[in-house]
Amino acid sequence: DAGVIQSPRHEVTEMGQEVTLRCKPISGHNSLFWYRQTMMRGLELLIYFNNNVPIDDSGMPEDRFSAKMPNASFSTLKIQPSEPRDSAVYFCASSTTANTEAFFGQGTRLTVV
């Protein structure tokens, strides 16, 4: 298995633009997580899905952020409009059940200028 695949690896965009981050979880995993990592705030859980259903989005910073999981093999995190303070590394992770290891993608490094 190729592991969790995220795209793009790097994204530089101008303030106000829409940004879409993509994630393909490991096949057979039924939980998917989106995290954001910054030096100041560490690794923050934004939202997670179980069996494609959003369970908890309390970590989503504001309405500019939205996430979808249309099927078991694909998820998106969208920021519209983007702001410079959204600059961070965004990680997607997946796992099989609640009590097992979460596997991470390599992350998307987002820079909003």
Partner 1 sequence: RKEVEQDPGPFNVPEGATVAFNCTYSNSASQSFFWYRQDCRKEPKLLMSVYSSGNEDGRFTAQLNRASQYISLLIRDSKLSDSATYLCVVNVDSSASKIIFGSGTRLSIRP
In eight-state DSSP terms, residue 25 is P
Q: Which one, of 51, 56, 42, lies nearest residue 95 by Cα?
A: 51
What minimum distance in Å lies between the beta carbon of 69 and partner 1? 13
Q: Which residues contact 105 (CB under 8 A, 6 or more apart)?
A: 3, 4, 5, 6, 23, 91, 92, 93
CA angle (82 as vertex; 106, 72 as ends), nearest 5 = 45
Give residues 52-71 in contact with partner 1 (rule: CB under 8 A).
55-56
43 in contact with partner 1 (CB under 8 A): yes
Q: Judged by CB under 8 A, which of 24, 34, 77, 107 binds partner 1?
A: 107
Footprint (CB under 8 A) of partner 1, residues 19-38: 31, 33, 35
Does residue number 98 form part of the binding site for partner 1 (CB under 8 A)? yes
Does 101 contact partner 1 by CB under 8 A?
Answer: yes
Q: Which member of 86, 91, 110, 112 binds partner 1 (CB under 8 A)?
A: 91
How many residues bind partner 1 (CB under 8 A)? The answer is 23
HSE-up of 72 (CA within 13 Å, CB side)?
Answer: 8
Alpha-carbon distance 51 to 32, whole Å? Answer: 8
Residues that bind partner 1 (CB under 8 A): 31, 33, 35, 41-43, 45, 48, 50, 55-56, 91, 93, 95, 97-99, 101-102, 104-107
